[in-house]
Amino acid sequence: MTPLDFLGILANNFNSYNQVAMVDERVDMSFKDTVRAKESALKDLAAYAVAEAKSMGAFESVVSIGGAEGISVSSRGGEIENLEFNKDQGMEITVYVSHKRGSASTTDLTHQAIRECIQSALSIASFTDEDPCAGIADAELLCQHFPELDILYPAQTDADAAVATAVSLEQYALEHKDEAIKNSDGAEFSSAVFTTALANSAGFCSARSLSNSALELTLIGQSDGKMQRGCGFDVHCNYQAFKSKEDIFAEAQERTLEMLNAHAVKTGKYNIIFSRNAMTSLWSSLLTAMSGGAIYRRSSYLCDMLGKQILPPFLTLLEDPLVKGERASKAYDSEGVAMHKSELIKGGILEVYLLSSYSSRKLGLKSNGHADGTSTCYALADAEHTKSFDELLQEAGEGIVVTSLMGQGVDIISGNYSRGATGYYFRNGQREHAVEEITIAGNLKEMFHNLALVGTDIDPRYKLKSGSLLIPDMTVSGL
């Protein structure tokens, strides 16, 4: 599949989503002016802290100052349960003296408190050992271009409206639920704006802001005396672009009902389809194994695998940090290093490790802007290996669709994989019954090499854009 083919599929998935978002394309400029003024003030404080650190004896320093302002509310039984207003701020500074590192933080942003925080960091540094790899990011790697990413919208700050959003969603669910749905386990709504300024002694000083809102409903179903839960949700930079409460309720009810009358299957080998809800944790395990920290500590099964095949040849993992409207978009990482569109894995071959300044120096490489992980990533497969979800079922014929995973059974060092799972069993491409109390086991190296097909059922709510994944003949422990 070409990138253009993939973007066409993605556009179809986003179509109805964006129709809602287009209702309110204009962002209140007074709101943006207020945020920009806050960014400017935080940048001044960050620059002040860097200058003070230098005057107090720091050879190098990096400062992060910021906070969040928003609201969160939860309801239960169709009535308000909790209402919280959030307004926090803080500063963290890291200083380097002769390759000795010290860090300290404070929530008091007065000049006196900042100086005291710097002194604490310098005191800590005096007790640490020298590390030749310690230091701020290389100046030539720092971000110089700051495009508008369309990720800043006003948060919902009206308490009555926030309460109404959560309560009305749950009330709607209680009024329209299937008889097998016994109750609601609550609804939650949150909305906030985050602003952070970053400065270092190499002259970098920038601020960025983003908004994030979430709405979730959890329902409880019952069959044969056993309870099951399922949720529906939405997340967006702009809360006004949420899916309708009808859609969120429908998802919560469907996911709850599909788990009723669940039972285990016999132990054996099964074709496993990681659904678009479950595949994120699988990709996350791979990205964790690619992190520079894990590599230089020799605690990843991907050590010494740079330039080698780790995925099937038909699959590429593309990262694009500058996609407008994506919540994970960012121009630079937490060290100020510029991020760029790149193929992390190309044709199944591992092209890069995910490096911070420190891990890159430990490995003799250059930082590539991954001090705080990845941004938006796209799993791109060729046309032959890209199928609709129904086609995945037909191609597999028989097996288990995994809809959720649990437990911590992933060993990144060896790649050994063992996770509890729920989902449903299918035969002849048709769903037969829900499945629970099973464990899926394998090894990440083999699992990713054996990956056979990628679905087109991409969920726009996740920063990793991948459809369901089919991995044949995995070991399942059940009855």
Per-residue pLDDT at 219: 97
Q: What is the DSSP string of 448-477?
A: HHH--EEES---TTSSEE---EEEEEEEEE
Angle in degrees, 0-180, between the axes of helices 29-55 and 111-126, rounded to the nearest 10: 50
pLDDT 10s digits, 426-452: 999 999 999 999 999 999 999 999 999
What are the residues whose beta carbons fall under 8 Å from the beta carbon of 342, sequence distance 6 or more?
318, 319, 351, 352, 368
Q: How far apart are CA 164 and CA 215, in angstroms?
A: 12
Type of residue numbered 29: M
Give backbone dihedrals phi and psi of 144, rounded to 5 degrees, phi first: -120, -15
**53 is written with which tokens?**
């650190």
Give the containing element (helix H, strand E) for 114: helix 111-126
CA separation for the pair 229, 8 (Å, rounded)? 34
- Helix (H) / strand (E) element for 450: namely helix 444-450
User: For residue 259, with 0-12 CB atoms within 10 Å meaning exposed, 13-18 middle and 19 or more buried, which class applies?
Assistant: buried
Q: Looking at 258-375, list the stretches that DSSP marks H as alpha helix, in order from N- to C-terminal side.
A: 279-289, 292-296, 357-363
Strand, coil or helix: what is 339? coil
Q: Report how far residue 220's alpha carbon sits from residue 408's, in angstroms, rounded to the nearest whole number.
A: 25
Q: Is the Cβ–Cβ distance between 302 and 293 less than 8 Å?
A: no
Question: Cα dihedral sign for 155, 159, 163, 164?
Answer: negative
Q: Could you give the CA distance from residue 401 to residue 278 in angstroms, rounded to a whole number? A: 9
Q: Which of 69, 65, 115, 67 is nearest to 92 (CA)?
A: 65
Q: How much of the chain exceeds pLDDT 70, in percent?
A: 94
Pinpoint the alpha helices (H) of 290-373: 292-296, 357-363
DSSP assignment string, 74-104: EEETTEEEEEEEEEEEEEEEEEEETTEEEEE
pLDDT confidence of residue 102: 98
Residue 143 neighbours by CB under 8 Å, 6+ apart: 204, 206, 331, 332, 336, 337, 338, 339
Q: Is the pLDDT of residue 8 over 80?
A: no
d(CA 20, CA 248): 14
Residues with Cβ within 8 Å of 340's Cβ and at least 6 positions away in sequence, in order, are 321, 368, 369
Residue 7, pLDDT > 90, answer no
CA distance 370 to 339: 8
- The answer, yes or no, to whether residue 370 has pLDDT greater than 70, is yes
pLDDT in tens, 42-58: 999 999 999 999 999 99
* pTM recorded for the entire structure: 0.91
Per domain, the residue ranges of the chain are 27-257, 262-477
Closest CA to 458 of 400, 376, 350: 376
Q: Which amino acid, one-letter code, is at 51? A: A
C-alpha distance from residue 373 to each of 82, 148, 198 (Å): 32, 21, 17
Does 27-257 carry CATH code 3.30.2290.10?
yes
Residue 235's identity, in one-letter code, is V
Q: What token pair was written down for 10?
A: 């993605």
* Rounded CA separation 4/10 (Å): 10
Residue 156 reports pLDDT greater than 90: yes
Q: Which two tokens stand for residue 477?
A: 């422990």
Q: Residue 279: pLDDT band by 50, 70, 90 thresholds?
A: very high
pLDDT in tens, 175-234: 999 999 999 999 999 999 999 999 999 999 999 999 999 999 999 999 888 899 999 999
Phi, psi of 274 (to 5 degrees): -80, 110
For range 154-172, the mean pLDDT: 96
Q: pLDDT grade, residue 29 (50/70/90)? A: confident
